[in-house]
Amino acid sequence: MLLPKNIDRHRAQKNLLRAVATLEFAKGLGVLIVGIVAILLLHKDVWVIAESILAVLHISTDRRSAQLFLDWADDLTDARLWLAVKLSFVYAALRFAEGYGLWKGRTWAEWIAFLSGMLLVPFEIRELLRGITWLRSGVFLVNVAVVLYMAFLLREGRRLRRLSSQPD
């Protein structure tokens, strides 16, 4: 009777791993879109575009956040946009590789997911200290859940390898 329970557990782990893989692929796709937008902004007056976005969204340019957005747009140069393009493409490639590896159940991808998730935890905690919002809390909880799940998979894989290498 243990066999069906083990099969169901394996299937559940595989489905959860594929859900994480889909999340990583989606993050890569989002950053890839940011890189493409950065390419489209090259050789353009980004301040005028930013002002148009604020107008379409009916956000007054008198607001502090609008002024910060306009100042940021004014500081954008083609060199900074190219840097954003390069970084976003590298990051997207990493996320796509990680997503592929997780989908295929590769240990190296579990390590990438674990380490990259752990690197983000301090930044997410800092953001929570600035103010707790639903978005910040959700991002933090999802990231911690992924990190803990990857740690579980890595430990479980190590345990299984150790058991399989022991002589009968």
Which tokens is 95 given? 């996320």
pLDDT for position 8: 82
Q: What pLDDT does 91 receive?
A: 96
The model carries a pTM of 0.81
- The 10 Å CB-count burial string (b at 16+, else e) for 71-83 is eebeebeeeebee
Tell me which of 31 and 69 has the higher pLDDT: 31
The separation between the first and the last C-alpha atoms of the chain, rounded to the nearest angstrom, is: 24
Q: What percent of the chain has pLDDT over 70?
A: 95
How do residues 1-18 score in pLDDT, each as one tens digit? 455 666 688 888 889 999
Q: Choose from 4-8, 34-38, 46-50, 60-64 the range with maximum mean pLDDT.
A: 34-38
Mean pLDDT check: name the lowest of 2-16, 86-100, 133-147.
2-16
Residue 135 has pLDDT above 80, yes or no: yes
User: DSSP secondary structure string, the chain?
Assistant: -HHHHHHHHHHHHHHHHHHHHHHHHHHHHHHHHHHHHHHHHTTS-HHHHHHHHHHHTT--TTSHHHHHHHHHHHH--HHHHHHHHHHHHHHHHHHHHHHHHHHTT-HHHHHHHHHHHHHHHHHHHHHHHH---HHHHHHHHHHHHHHHHHHHHHHHHHHHHHHHHS--
Residue 166 has pLDDT above 80, yes or no: no
82: left (phi > 0), else alpha (psi -120 to 50), else beta? alpha
pLDDT at residue 165, rounded to an integer: 74
* Distance (Å) of CA 15 to CA 47, 74, 76, 90, 102: 45, 45, 42, 27, 11
